[in-house]
């Protein structure tokens, strides 16, 4: 668990997972230069649901809106997509995302798990095209769908990590 007086950590999700409570809603974020896609997971962390796209203004206003959304859902942490290069290295966008995460963690008081978001927007774009969503509608919803895609990947990771950490059951318990 995270000590109440410690600053909220910003860590790769694999390192943050053991520090998170077993239950509690999570907020997924797809950070763009003009918008922030927002999604939410239920307290049991079974389903990622789109919430909204926040138009970027100033950091404080953006952060206040994200915190309000987290408060409404009683979220225990944020999952923030980390835009790595295809070779896994970090470029300027990843560095900007890490800076946002550090500042936002201080303001929100909630931990932030960083999750590799490579190709998330491309995957969502393909799915929306396949669903015959018009170009205009895709532009309006792509960021929130990308946030749900990021959050869904993180939820799968957390479920798999919990399953690996659970002690094996005997045949009588199965």
Where on the phi/psi map is residue 52: left (φ > 0), alpha (ψ -120 to 50), or beta? Answer: beta
Neighbours of 13 (CB within 10 A): 21
Region of poorest pLDDT, from 31-40, 110-119, 124-133:
124-133
Identify the H or E element spanning 66: helix 59-72
122 vs 24, which has greater pLDDT? 24
Q: pTM for the full model?
A: 0.86
Q: Give the mean pLDDT of 19-38.
A: 94
Q: Which fold has domain 19-163?
A: Nucleotidyltransferase; domain 5 (3.30.420)
Question: Of 152, 4, 10, 124, whose CA–CA distance to 78 is shortest?
Answer: 10
165 vs 110, which has greater pLDDT? 110
Q: Give the mean pLDDT of 114-140.
A: 79
pLDDT of residue 171: 62
Tell me how far CA of residue 135 lies from CA of 39, 118, 138, 166, in angstroms. Answer: 21, 22, 5, 45
pLDDT of residue 169: 64
Mean pLDDT estimate for the chain? 88
Percent of the chain residues past pLDDT 70, beyond the cut: 91
**Confidence class of residue 165 from pLDDT cuts 50, 70 and 90?**
confident
Percent of the chain residues past pLDDT 90, beyond the cut: 63
Q: How far apart are the C-alpha atoms of 93 and 60, rounded to whole Å? A: 20
pLDDT of residue 170: 60
pLDDT of residue 7: 76
**Confidence class of residue 168 from pLDDT cuts 50, 70 and 90?**
low
Q: Which regions of 6-162 does DSSP assign to beta strands (E)?
A: 10-12, 25-31, 35-41, 48-55, 75-82, 112-116
Q: How far apart are the C-alpha atoms of 111 and 122, rounded to whole Å? A: 27
For residue 143, pLDDT over 90 is answered with no
- 142 token code pair: 């792509």
pLDDT of residue 134: 81
**Confidence class of residue 1 from pLDDT cuts 50, 70 and 90?**
low
For residue 3, pLDDT over 60 is answered with no
């Amino acid at each position: 668990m995270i000590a109440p007086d410690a600053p909220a950590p910003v860590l790769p999700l694999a390192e943050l997972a053991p520090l998170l409570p077993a239950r509690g809603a999570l907020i997924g974020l797809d950070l763009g230069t003009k918008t922030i896609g927002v999604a939410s997971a239920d307290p049991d962390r079974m389903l990622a649901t789109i919430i909204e796209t926040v138009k970027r203004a100033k950091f404080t206003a953006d952060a206040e809106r994200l915190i309000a959304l987290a408060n409404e859902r009683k979220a225990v942490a944020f999952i923030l997509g980390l835009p790595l290069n295809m070779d896994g290295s970090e470029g300027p966008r990843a560095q900007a995302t890490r800076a946002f995460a550090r500042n936002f963690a201080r303001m929100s008081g909630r931990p932030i798990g960083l999750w590799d978001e490579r190709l998330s927007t491309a995957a969502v774009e393909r799915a929306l095209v396949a669903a015959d969503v018009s170009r205009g509608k895709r532009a309006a919803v792509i960021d929130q769908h990308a946030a749900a895609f990021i959050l869904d990947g993180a939820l799968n990771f957390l479920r798999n990590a919990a399953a690996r950490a659970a002690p094996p059951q005997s045949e009588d318990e199965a």
